[in-house]
């Protein structure tokens, strides 16, 4: 079974995906980590981010995969997850994510993982491009103000709320308007607006859909079509 969760930056989808995977006893595929691994490798190889063929060669050479414990593997070895965190890897990831050739390599790797395991996937295009036939699709989102408030709490209140909202809005626009794999909500995905909801509540709502085939009435998920079968 594949439960695919997409959404914008700062929506809380990674935490939610992790907890849903735990509850279901599934592995979690963090597709952003694959883009980060390629970004770091391209940077370390001293390859130009504009040289698509060279970036694709780096992506292929990593031979990304996942082990039965859900850890990212490169050439059969566990990738140090801490090395993928932070601003540098995030910025390099966003550059390689713009290259169609790199996306093709990573989408293929993600689908290979999906053929072997029950998964909760998380990213920008897992409901639309990677697993369009996923059993359940969710679009986890939050208002700009809510995401800015969360980011502010994470970063220790170093920036003012308005500046953060401007940053996030800019990143949303980039994600939604980029030519390659823009962030779009799949029409079949259930939208979960997480404003004012605890992570635990969001996880419960998603599990309710997965386990009982439909959201409970009066709660936040809005489905644009019929209930999942």
Shortest Å distance, C-beta 68 to ligand DC: 22
Residue with tokens 């593997």: 73
DSSP result, 107-170: HHHHHHHHHHS-EEEEESSIIIII-TT-SEEEEEE--HHHHHHHHHHHTTS-S-HHHHHHHHHH
If you compute the radius of gyration of the chain from its CA atoms, what whole number of angstroms results? 17
Site for ligand DC in 74-93 (CB under 6 A): 90, 93
Instruction: Look at the alpha carbons of 86, 23, 5, 11 in this order and tell me if their dihedral is positive or negative.
Output: negative
Site for ligand DC in 164-183 (CB under 6 A): 181
Region of 117-125, 147-155, 188-196, 219-227 interacting with ligand DC (CB under 6 A): 117-125
C-beta closer to ligand DC: residue 44 or 216: 44
Residue with tokens 């970004």: 39
CB-closest chain residue to ligand DC: 32
Q: Which of 4, 24, 38, 97 binds ligand DC (CB under 6 A)?
A: 97
Shortest Å distance, C-beta 70 to ligand DC: 15
Instruction: Look at the alpha carbons of 149, 188, 229, 21 in this order and tell me if their dihedral is positive or negative.
Output: negative
Site for ligand DC in 30-59 (CB under 6 A): 31-32, 35-36
Structure tokens at 215: 């959201």
Asked if 123 is part of the footprint of ligand DC (rule: CB under 6 A), the reply reads yes
The residues of the shown chain that bind ligand DC, judged by CB under 6 A, are 31-32, 35-36, 90, 93-94, 97, 123-126, 181
């Amino acid at each position: 079974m594949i439960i695919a969760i997409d959404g914008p930056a700062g929506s809380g989808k990674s935490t939610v995906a992790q907890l849903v995977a735990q509850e279901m006893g599934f592995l979690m595929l963090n597709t952003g980590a694959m883009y980060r691994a390629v970004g770091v490798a391209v940077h370390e190889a001293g390859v130009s981010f504009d040289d698509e063929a060279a970036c694709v060669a780096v992506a292929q050479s990593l031979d990304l995969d996942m082990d039965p414990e859900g850890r990212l593997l490169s050439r059969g070895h566990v990738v140090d997850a801490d090395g993928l965190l932070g601003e540098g890897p995030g910025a390099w990831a966003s550059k390689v994510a713009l290259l169609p050739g790199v996306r093709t390599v990573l989408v293929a790797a993600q689908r290979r993982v999906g053929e072997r395991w029950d998964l909760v996937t998380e990213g920008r295009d897992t409901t639309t491009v990677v697993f369009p036939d996923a059993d359940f699709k969710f679009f986890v989102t939050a208002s700009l103000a809510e995401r800015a408030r969360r980011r502010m709490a994470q970063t220790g209140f170093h920036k003012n709320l308005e500046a953060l909202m401007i940053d996030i809005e800019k990143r949303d626009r980039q994600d939604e308007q980029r030519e390659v794999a823009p962030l779009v909500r799949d029409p079949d995905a259930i939208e979960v607006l997480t404003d004012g909801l605890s992570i635990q509540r969001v996880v419960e709502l998603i599990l309710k859909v997965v386990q009982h085939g439909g959201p409970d009435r009066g709660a936040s998920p809005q489905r644009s079509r019929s209930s999942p079968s």
